[in-house]
Every structure is written in C-alpha cells, then in structure tokens.
C-alpha cells in the first residue's frame, strides 16, 4: 500500500459516513473551534457547552501543561464535542529549530508530550509549527529545514505507536512560502504520520489558498479556517477579506477532502461562536 492510499484510509476511518452536499463537496466537513476563541474565565465544561450550542462538532485544545486531562475527558463525554486536535503550546518560543541544542531537546519533548496528551483524550492529531527563520547565521532557512526534519523524525515512532498524526504548519515563519517547496518538505518524511494542517488565511497571500490546496493535495489532512485581507496583509474574520471561497471549495473537492475544519478567527462569547458557525457554513457550504 502506498503512502497516499494509507493516508486516505486513515482519514476515512476517522470520519462518519460520507454525505453529499449541495455544492462541490462529495465528502463531509466537521466544524471545530480552538478553545482559545471562547472568551471568558469559566470551567472547561462550560466552554465545551458553548461550542456544542453553537453547532461545533469538535474542539482543539493545547498541550503540554495547559489543560487537566480528566476535566477535558469529562467535558467531552458530557457534551459529545470531540477533542479532535491538540496544538503544541510552546512551538513558537521553544522551537525545534532553535540554535541551542538544549532548547531543541525541550521542544522535542514538548512535541512528544503533546502527542501523548492527544492520545489520552482521543484526539488523532497535533498541530506543529515546525520552526522559525530568525537569524541568517544561527537559525536560517537551511538550518530550520535540517533541524526540524531531524527532530520530527525522532517523534514519528511515538506518533505511530500512539496513533496520532503530526500535522505541520508553516505560518508566517519565514520558511518555504511556496506551495511546491512545502509539499516537497512534507514528502521528505515519507510517513503517514506526518502531514499538513493547512491554514486557508495564512497561505492565501502566497498565491491563493486554492493553489496551495491543489498543490498539497493528499498531504492536507485538516484545515484551519480564516480569511485574509491582502491589502493589509493580515488574517481576518470570514468574508472580511479576499479569500476565494468558491475556489477553496472547488479545490477541496478536487483533493477529495473529508475531515476537520477548525475556526481560527476573532474570539468572543456564545453569540459570537454562533456567528462563526454560520459563516463557516456559508464559506464551506456545509
């Protein structure tokens, strides 16, 4: 079985039966929200209830050391809102590509801890920003590539044992702002446990989100959903930017995408979460 077929079977196993849509889609998209978008100090269960009431199917948490596992499991069980993904909570500051080997070791351990937390709460992926180009001498593009590949490879056996995929993201980090180069980078791992968590807004300013989706193709395992104002070169709320949503839908159809789409827009209260769901439904024709 080749890598693409294996990835397709993994994605199908994680989803419910396929439903046809009225637009381009032949697969099913599940809506999720990043827990940080639900504003206010409250028990985690209450945030899950807000997500449930708004119409989200799932939620994305952060690890390591940000949430109590038992509390997360109780919230999931009581609401039916699935914890589908865990974001590595330190990947920006404690980077796999830092010039200091001790920092890189801490980053690797944080990634492994995030994988373990994901497994323990039933999530099937972690989101990992692989590194950041910060200095032409000590953390340049070549070094970011080499160091990130070395460390991600060290974590693949853990990901495979736990059944949790490492979904990489390049987010304004100065590394490979070209879709073909990013696809080639992901292919270096030659592993079903490494793929892309594609962010629509982040990449739209680099040739358009549809182009990225078509180029990355089967490497796209999950998506983050936001818009992009190209005039200001900033991400923004849905329909307040320049993303070609019909083109995005057509591109997703072309790669037979079937899985999780997580909102990553302005935070707010329960009413705001309902608005986000409405806009996601419109943008993706869910």
Over residues 256-278, the mean pLDDT reads: 97
CA distance 64 to 31: 24
pTM for the structure as a whole: 0.90
Over residues 214-242, the mean pLDDT reads: 96
pLDDT value at residue 171: 76
Asked whether 126 and 88 are in contact (CB, 8 A), the reply is: yes
pLDDT value at residue 13: 44
* pLDDT of 186 over the 70 cut: yes
pLDDT value at residue 254: 96
User: What is the SS3 assignment for 137?
Assistant: coil
Q: What residues form DSSP beta bridges with 62?
A: 87
CA distance 118 to 111: 10
Asked whether 194 and 210 are in contact (CB, 8 A), the reply is: no
pLDDT value at residue 27: 61
List Cβ neighbours of 189 (8 Å cut-off, separation of 6 or more). 149, 152, 153, 156
Q: Between residues 20 and 71, which one has the greater pLDDT?
A: 71
* pLDDT of 141 over the 80 cut: yes
Domain 3-284 has CATH 3.30.70.260: no
* 112: preceding bond cis by omega (within 30 degrees): no
Report the percentage of the chain scoring pLDDT > 90.
87
pLDDT value at residue 286: 87
Query: For 17-26, 69-78, 115-124, 152-161, which range has the lowest pLDDT when averaged over its residues?
Result: 17-26
CA distance 282 to 286: 7
* pLDDT of 1 over the 70 cut: no
User: What is the SS3 assignment for 31?
Assistant: strand
**CB count in 10 Å sphere of residue 82:** 20
CA distance 147 to 192: 20
CA distance 147 to 156: 15
4-55: pLDDT as tens digits: 544 444 554 444 333 334 444 446 899 999 999 999 999 999 999 999 999 9
Average pLDDT value for the chain: 92
Q: Which two tokens stand for residue 111?
A: 């990634």
Over residues 124-145, the mean pLDDT reads: 96
Asked whether 89 and 64 are in contact (CB, 8 A), the reply is: yes
Please report the sign of the dihedral spanned by the C-alpha atoms of residue 223, residue 135, residue 109, residue 63.
negative
* pLDDT of 219 over the 90 cut: yes
CA distance 132 to 140: 8
Domain ranges of the chain: 3-284
Q: How confident is the model at residue 147 (pLDDT cuts 50, 70, 90)?
A: very high
Give the side-chain half-sphere CA count within 13 A for 261: 24
């Amino acid at each position: 079985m080749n890598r693409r077929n294996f990835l397709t079977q993994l994605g199908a196993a994680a989803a419910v039966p396929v439903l046809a849509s009225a637009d381009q889609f032949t697969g099913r998209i599940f809506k999720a929200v990043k827990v940080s978008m639900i504003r206010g100090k409250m028990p985690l269960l209450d945030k899950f209830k807000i997500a449930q009431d708004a119409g989200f199917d799932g939620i994305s948490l952060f690890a390591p050391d940000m949430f109590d596992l038992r509390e997360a499991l109780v919230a999931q069980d009581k609401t039916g809102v699935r914890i589908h993904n865990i974001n590595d909570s330190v990947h920006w500051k404690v980077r796999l590509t830092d010039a200091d080997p001790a920092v890189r070791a801490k980053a690797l351990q944080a990634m492994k801890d995030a994988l373990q937390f994901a497994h323990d709460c039933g999530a099937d992926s972690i989101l990992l920003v692989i590194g950041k180009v910060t200095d032409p001498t000590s953390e340049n593009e070549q070094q970011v590539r080499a160091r990130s590949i070395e460390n991600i490879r060290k974590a693949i056996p853990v990901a495979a044992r736990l059944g949790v995929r490492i979904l990489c993201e390049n987010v304004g980090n100065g590394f490979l702002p070209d879709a073909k180069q990013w696809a080639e980078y992901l292919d270096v791992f030659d592993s079903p446990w490494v793929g892309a968590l594609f962010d629509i807004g982040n990449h739209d300013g680099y040739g358009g989100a549809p182009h990225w989706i078509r180029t990355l193709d089967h490497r796209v395992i999950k998506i983050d959903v936001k818009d992009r104002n190209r005039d200001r070169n900033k991400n923004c709320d849905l329909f307040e930017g320049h993303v070609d949503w019909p083109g995005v839908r057509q591109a997703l159809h072309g790669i037979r995408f079937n899985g999780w789409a997580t909102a990553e827009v302005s935070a707010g209260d329960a009413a705001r979460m309902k608005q986000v769901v409405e806009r996601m439904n419109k943008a993706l024709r869910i």
